[in-house]
Amino acid sequence: MQQSKSAVLFERAKKVLPGGVSRNTIFKQPHPDYVASGKGCYVTDIDGVPRIDFANNMASLIHGHANEQVTNAIIKQVQQGTAFTMATEVEIEYAELLCQRVPGFEKIRFVNSGTEAVMAMIKAARAFTSKAKIAKVEGAYHGAYDYAEVSQTANPSNWGEQAQPHSVLVAAGTPQGALDDVIVIPYNDVDGALAILNQHRGELAAILLDPVSHRVGMVPATPEFVNALYQWTRDNNALLLFDEVITFRVGFGGAQENYDVAPDLTALGKMIGGGFPVGAFAGRSDVMAVLDPLQPKVLLPHSGTFSANPVTMTAGLEAMKMFDQGAVTRLNELGSLARGLITQAIERVGIKACVTGAGSMLRVHLKSQPPSNYRQAFNSAEEAKALKILLEHLNQNSIMMINTCSAMLSTAMTEQEISILAQQLEQGFKLLIEQVPALANTPAFT
């Protein structure tokens, strides 16, 4: 049997790339799929197989692939130059647009990735408060910074008691000092979180929160939880930091517009780059002043060779102009439709499954009830095995998903693509019940 073109490429890749990949998120057995092209919400691999793209490069393509308006703008900019040791007018125009969009964005600084945005935001909070420790939610993903990634892969063997979660390393060799400086709190548990935070009064620079954390279960933070964390930071000379690298798509002003209080700083990334590498952090002028080279003493010297490069700024500006209130509303309606159709499919099949999410995001769990925190969202060995079967079914039937069985919609999609997703998930649920009978949602006898 002749090997696929993707299989052949993977053999080459393994000789020069660790594990044959440059990012582990696209690795899968027996090999990754290699892309030929993308247009709108469809991607075609090098073997000629088209798929509907519900991954959208890990939520970074809000308008899908090769959007004509964005493409035309960046072609014009590339012809004028791609990077300069000079400032550009387009970075000012883009900063003005984003600051006008969100009331809490008084000043903004552009960087090159979501990881870098979160890292710089944490460092800014330390510089402003003169304190080192931060608190974060157990299981939440905030990029690859040593401090931000603590406990994002905790498991029952090492996560400790729920009332006092352990700070668990992700990368081997993480300094103990980094673990000691990160306080882990439970998600959406006001009393539990405050009890832990109160043990560290006077030590914390900031609390870091993703308001709809993908890894924690893609369940929105409750207003009560956000309000409690906000008030604690007011009472203890600390800052509240939001990671909206993914969730900024949830509303015109991000997920934060759904709360009564505003974070002091917000990290952005992914979709604000218009398909190019990007990050940014924004917030209070007095906090952002730690970066200001006009100050007598710069508390956080910060630069980046490609920060605010004109190609990314041009692409991002065009993308976010297009993602106006009408586009946000329409896409969120598609998200609601998708979650509703998937829920109906779950009920028809009779499988232990549920769907969570917000706005244009969703995640399918092989659990009877939606999780409310990371420990409830954590997959057992059986659930993880079943999830692989489901994802492989979807991939073989022209559906691309994120490997947690999550979807991030794009404005290039219509109700037709949403309907196809629900239909293929329903077929996948039937397949799972055949192969993993324990997932059948058999009513209990009373």
Separation between Cα atoms, residue 207 and residue 136, nearest integer Å: 6
CA 191 to chain centre: 26
Cβ pair 139, 187 in contact under 8 A: yes
Contact 281, 117 (CB under 8 A): yes
**Residues near 190 by Cβ (< 8 Å), separated by ≥ 6?**
224, 225, 228
> What CA–CA distance (Å, rounded) separates 411 from 413?
5
- For residue 112 the two structure tokens come to 């090159």
The one-letter amino acid code at 275 reads: G
Q: Which of 321, 314, 308, 318 is nearest to 252 (CA)?
A: 321
Whole-angstrom distance, CA of residue 59 vs CA of residue 212 = 13
| Token code pair at residue 325 | 């209130």
What residues are annotated to the active site?
A: 141, 243, 270
Location of structure tokens 């798929």: 51
Amino acid sitting at position 156: P
Identify whether 30 is preceded by a cis peptide bond (ω within 30 of 0): yes
Listed in order, strand segments (DSSP E) in 145-237 are 160-161, 164-165, 182-185, 204-209
Pairing type for strands 265-269 and 239-243 reads parallel
